Structures are given as C-alpha cells and as structure tokens.
Structure 1
C-alpha cells in the first residue's frame, strides 16, 4: 500500500525537522542564559534623532511624545504624519508648538500611506535637511537615528547604553536593536502601567507576546550578536545617519519596499560592511495585540515580509563582508517561513499516518498504544512541546521573578499553542505572496482617547509626499 511506503519517509523527515528545531532552541537558549550586561557610555557624546511614524495615532501619540521628552532629553523627536484621517495632525501641531525638540513631517496623498518604510524615509530626509541647515559639517557618524512606534515607551537608560563602547562607541557598529517588551500587561511599574485587557484570552495573548519578545526573540538576537547577524526590529532600532546615507547612495533611500522593512534595513547595514548590535539591557515598550484577529493580521505582514526578503539570500551568502556563520544564520531566518510551511504539511501528514496505523492495527487503538505507540507521545512531548514550553519557566527566571511556578508552566504550555496559532499567519502570508499582494495594513491601537482641539498658533512643519521626489519644503500647519 502507498501508506506503507510513505509512512516511514514522512516520519523520518518529521524527526529530522524536530531534531533540527531542538538543536536551534538549545543554541539560542544557552547564550541567553549566559548574557552579560552592556557597559553604558555617555549619550551626550552623540547626536540623537528619534523617528515616530504616525498614521491615525491621536489616541497614543501625545503621551508618547511627552514620555520621550522626559526619558530622552537629548533627542530631537520627528513625528511623521502619514496623511492621518483622525486628529493626529492637530495633536502633533500642538506638541511642536509647545516643544522646540518636536518636529512634524507631514506627508500627503497620493505618496503617503505606502507603508512604514516610505514614512521613515521621509523622516530621514527631514533630518538631513535639518542637519544641513542648522549643523552644517556635522560628523554624521556621530548622529544616531532611532525608530520608536507611536505607542512606544523608551527605557530612560537606553541612550546611555547605546552610546557604550560595545555599541555606538564602537565605530564598526552601524546599527543597534534594543529589547522590545509589552506595555499593556496591567503592571504599575515604569515599563507598563497601561491597563490589561478585560478578557482572559486578551490578557493571555498580551502575556504571550511579552514572553515571545523578551525570551525567544531576545535569545535569537543574542546568538546573532555572537555570530554577527543581529536583525533590526520595527520598534527600538537605531542606525548611524552616515550608514543610512551610505545605503541611500546605493539604493535611493535607506528603507526599501519589503513589508519587513526593519529586517531589510539590517541586511543592508551588514551588506554595506558595518556591524549590527543588540542590547538586551534596555528596552522599548509597545502595546501588545489582545485579539487573535489583530495578531494574525500583524504576523501575516511579518511573515510575508520575510518571504520578500528571501531575495537577499544570494547576496548574503556571497558577501565578503558577512562572515560564514552570520550568513548561515541569516539564511536560516530567511527560510523560516518556508520551513514552517513544509513542516506543517509534514507534521500533519505524519499525524495522519500515525492515525492510520493506530486504527488499522489488529485490536484497535489500545493494542497499537500498548504495542509501542505510546512512545510517539513521548517523542512529541520531548521534541515538539518542551522546546516551546520551556520559555515559560525561562521567562520567570530571567524577566518576571515574581511569577509563580504554576503560572510560568501555564505560560509555557500556552506558548506552545500560541505558535500553532501563528502558523495561520504563515499560510495567509503564503497566499498573499502567491497572489503578489503587498498592501500594508496598519495595526489598530488598543487605547482610545478623546479628540483634541486645534492649536492656537502656526507651527513649522516639513511637507513630504507632494511629489515622487519626496522633497521637503518649510511650511505651516494651522
């Protein structure tokens, strides 16, 4: 029978994938548990500019700007209004009128709303004009451009740590990423006093995203730090202005067209001959998504962006500026969406084969189980559940020590379920990829507040998006 020939091959492939996954988990877990603190430097030794892309962000942008004015007192804040329909322009105008360090970059349709990358490029152009006008001749290797989401909260120590000798104090470092954590966990402390969702599912999803970013993703980045393949994230990424300029000379603009524009930028930094760094000691916090629909929509965009970035695989593998270990790790990451697709088919087929043997064994399922079938469940627990569920206890040990052991184990098991939910996003991304759909859908904010009145006086702004060239000109927002 066909099943007798296919079964062993499918089971063997499933075991190979499981062993490879377990080996990868161990390879990222060990550096994560052995990490050492980053030595801070002096933020005042560098020039800091923070980009805040804004599309319909009137519910969060005001408090974000006020927080950044306090936690990043040396930074200029560049709020990029991407043709918002709500009162975001009014809020930004009022903030710029009240605070000299707040600047507004206003984009207009039809050039606006093309994705986060084009919005960041508009901010980069505005910073360049600002430097040319007010700081001509400034050393752009000492100018650092960061990206903070409109709902973001920055660790007060972030800029000092980023200025340290292992990060931007090292001339070889072109870009750096800091840890990302979740705001809306209902914790009344400096990194998250936002109210938690009211439903059990919402709270669980928020906690699981915090587990994911502060353990799994941080562990991946710490391994990459050793290998030289650190990737940039959409929130909390920092890049030297000179490096952004260098990328723009070759490609026109720093941020390109992939839906995973952050990781794409990191690849360009590495291909340009610079090093990326990761700091787990400091963080940027953002709102987690409390519903499965919003989470899947976000991860569909990320997965499709990863598929789009697969086109860089030949350049990475042949680049003389990227080490072989770093290139192999990048290749592994770029192949993850594809291996997830293959793996889900293989595992589903293997499950079907197992079910066939269980129900066709003489004596039925009970005989199959007692004759050795029980071993399949042990293998599944060891290779399938444990490598994912372990991050719950790890989260308790490294991030939230007040979490009980029971809750840590529960989070670990829920994290295992969570990974299967995210597989839905991979398949949706694959469908969009096949249909060549690349539309950018913004994630809606959780928090909602009232609208704001118009400012009393005009504010200097940078207009962008009126033409394909994206040139800025000084204007007034009233």
Structure 2
C-alpha cells in the first residue's frame, strides 16, 4: 500500500489548536464542584494506567528474538543472504569517525553482499580529511560528500545515497554506533524468518557510568524497549529509533524515502511504516551501543528535538491515523500513548499554573502518579533483564526513584515545545548530538 509524501503544512495552526485543547482540559476540572473535580483524572488514570500496565507486563525477553542462533552459521543461510547497504550520515564527527570505520569493517557479512557508505553532510571540522585518509586505506568504505547548504538534514543525507546503492536492506547507523560483529547477521535472520519489514535494535549506553545523567539515559532506553515490545505483543505500535535500524528497501521506497520535512526521520518513518502495514520489531539482544549526552544542557537540547519531531508527526498524519488504514486496537494504542506522552505533560503544566492562580491543589495528580508508577515498573523490568551489551544499571530503589524523577524533565520540555511550535515558524535544521568518543 503506497503512501504519498506528507508535506507537513499548517503545523503552527495545529500546534495552536493542540495547545488550546490542552489548556481547556487543564482548566475544566477547576470549574467543577470540589466533590467531583478529581473524577476526570481518576477515570483517565484507571483507563490509561490499566492499558499501560498491560503493556509492561506483556513484554518478555524471548519475544521477538532469533530462537535458533545456529542458523546464522549454516552455509545454506549464508548463501541465501540478501544484499545490505550500511548507511551512516555524519556531520562534524572527527572524534568518532575512525572508530566508526573500524566497527563497520568488523561487521560479519559476506563482502560481496554488503556495501559500506558514509555520507559526510557538510562537516566543518576534520571529518572530511579523516574520511579521505580512511578511504585511501580501506577500499571497502564508500564516501559521499554533501555541501553544508544541502537541504533535508539527516533525511536528505540518507536520500542522497539511495540511488547509488542497490541493497535489498538498509542498515542505518549513527556515527557513534558501536555494535557486535554478528549483529547484522542476527538482525537479518530475525527479519527474514519473522516476516518483519524493519528491525530496530535495542539502544544501550556505552558511557552509563560517567555520571547520573548518563546512567538514567541507559535506564530510560531499557524502559523504552520494554514498553515498545509490550505494545507490539499487545497488538499495538512499535517504532524506529534512528540508530541501529534495519529497513527493507522496497518498503522504504513505497513510503517515499526519508522525509526531508521532519527533524526526526526515525519517528516519521515509523508512522509511514505503520500506515503501509509494514511491521517493525524490537530486538533486545544484541543492542546497538551509543553515547549518552553528558550534561543537562545537551540533554534538553536533544529532548527538545525529539519532542518536536514526535509531536509534529501526529499533526502531519492524523487524518490517516484515524482512517481505516489502522485497526481499532492500533488506534487505541496510539491514542493511549499520545495522551500519556504529549497531552499529559501539557495538561499537567496548565493544571499547575491554574492551581497557583486559584490557590488550589493541582487536580491531575492521580493520573501523573499512575504514569510515573508504570514507568518505574518498566525501569525495573528493563534493568532486571540480561543484556549482551553494556551492563545495565542496577534496578535498586534509589536508581529507580532517581530515574523516575529524571523523567519529569519531559513535563518541562513538551509544554515548552508546544508553546514554541505555536508561536514560531519552524526552520528545519539538523541539530545533531555532539559525540565525544567515549
């Protein structure tokens, strides 16, 4: 089922309407009788909390894993492997580019069936010079350079190399990616034998012991994988996460390629896979390893981009999301997580402001408590599981409490982004995360 490209028109108007609706929802309980003003929050807490609990409990580590690891060692399997293009869009990555090339060359896959591409997207540091030297040393590495003024950000960089490659599958990595040598074989085997259109590797943090911010990000990634796999097991929606995604080329072409009108290509593409009924699976082991941001300022810069890209895809695709393209259960799943991820932080912020003005208690605290409690359960479940990658932080009480409090930053980021999207016209800029080379 082909899907036309979405242009993302009228995002500012949609943001204003979304903000107005959230404001009305935040104000409404304060206009009710005191004996009834907690009812809206309690009802939502029961409904959304019940669904969220079901999702977390449905995750199983063995779900969506390659059950027969010996398969990848058989000669028959190796002979029938499809061709794969490994793509990395890089900008100003002098700290990690040499390590990246080393990792790419270590991938276990028949050389005649794999091509390695690095797209230098207007780097202004030493990345172009380093790539030139590496290209001379390693003939298997292909480099495509784009000028700094090129349009489309990361999506544009990835699109620019598609007509130069012919692999049946695309393996998308970030420049700081670290991975086990057999990860591609295992992901391909899972995709082929499970009938999946895309495989997203669980994301893990290589520098989680650096500080608490990095540690909480490691826990957050494990929590995210638990929730995604639980949603998938419940018949809901799973999503791509950018780094470590294996994509079927035919499905990508059916979706119109990477969307150059978005700042989060992975989240946008997840919806287009969903709307073309192309299933995405989350693979727990082995994970894709990446650097966590190391400071609060870097964290908020990264999360503002994620929040804006995540919200704008709902604005762009909502007519299709409520159409007959999706099953009723997938619509319910999307609605529940849209309410928890995007609506609750804005409504809670409005509720808090109104409570200060009226000298009253906030009225959405039952729903917020339930949402944080489910997140805590997902933290515990994710960090309790075995991992082939970096060691996950211990799921003790202190760590889970700290990680749960850490999640509250979304209750600042998302309201800020909604107001920003409502007031200012968006300029599409690739605001990449800085990589130190941990």
Alignment of 1:421-460 (within 5 A): 421-434=409-422, 435-447=424-436
415 and 408 in structure 1: CA distance in 2 versus 1, 3 angstrom threshold:
same
Match of 1:106 in 2: 145
Q: Which has the higher contact order (CA 8 A, sep 6+)?
A: 2
1:356 CA displacement:
4.1
Match of 2:101 in 1: 65
Q: How many residues were matched structurally?
A: 392
Query: How big is each residue's C-alpha offset from its partner over 1:67-103, in whole Å with a ceiling of 9 and x where there is no partner?
Result: 2211344442211111110011111122222222211
20 and 61 in structure 1: CA distance in 2 versus 1, 3 angstrom threshold:
farther
CA contact (8 A) 1:224 1:329 kept: no
Task: Select which of 114, 117, 120 maps to 2:158.
Answer: 120
1:224 CA displacement:
2.2
Q: For structure 1, which runs of at least 5 residues remain unmatched after alignment? A: 132-139, 187-195, 197-202, 359-375, 450-478
Match of 2:10 in 1: none
Alignment of 1:352-431 (within 5 A): 356=360, 383=370, 385-399=372-386, 408-431=396-419
Distance 1:217 1:437 in 2: 30
266 and 381 in structure 1: CA distance in 2 versus 1, 3 angstrom threshold:
closer
CA contact (8 A) 2:85 2:170 kept: yes
Match of 1:89 in 2: 128
Q: For structure 2, which runs of at least 5 residues remain unmatched after alignment? A: 1-28
303 and 357 in structure 1: CA distance in 2 versus 1, 3 angstrom threshold:
closer
Query: How big is each residue's C-alpha offset from its partner over 1:20-44, in whole Å with a ceiling of 9 and x where there is no partner?
Result: 4422431221122464333355474
Alignment of 1:159-238 (within 5 A): 159-164=184-189, 166-170=190-194, 172-186=195-209, 196=210, 203-227=211-235, 229-238=237-246
Match of 1:297 in 2: 301
Distance 2:227 2:62 in 1: 9
319 and 239 in structure 1: CA distance in 2 versus 1, 3 angstrom threshold:
farther
Query: How big is each residue's C-alpha offset from its partner over 1:162-187, in whole Å with a ceiling of 9 and x where there is no partner?
Result: 222x52334x422221100111124x
Match of 1:285 in 2: 289
278 and 53 in structure 1: CA distance in 2 versus 1, 3 angstrom threshold:
same
- SS state at 1:173 partner: coil
Alignment of 1:251-266 (within 5 A): 253-266=257-270
1:53 CA displacement:
0.9
Distance 1:27 1:86 in 2: 48
TM-score relative to the length of structure 1: 0.73
TM-score relative to the length of structure 2: 0.79
- SS state at 1:50 partner: strand
1:313 CA displacement:
2.1
Task: Select which of 343, 346, 369 maps to 1:338.
Answer: 343
Match of 1:465 in 2: none
CA contact (8 A) 1:396 1:402 kept: no
Please tell me the root mean square deviation across aligned C-alpha atoms, in Å. 3.2
Which is further off, 16-25 or 272-281?
Answer: 16-25
Query: How big is each residue's C-alpha offset from its partner over 1:249-272, in whole Å with a ceiling of 9 and x where there is no partner?
Result: xxxx33342222112112222323
- SS state at 2:193 partner: coil
80 and 242 in structure 1: CA distance in 2 versus 1, 3 angstrom threshold:
same
Which entry has the higher C-alpha Rg, 1 or 2? 1
433 and 146 in structure 1: CA distance in 2 versus 1, 3 angstrom threshold:
same
289 and 429 in structure 1: CA distance in 2 versus 1, 3 angstrom threshold:
same
Task: Select which of 20, 40, 48 maps to 2:84.
Answer: 48
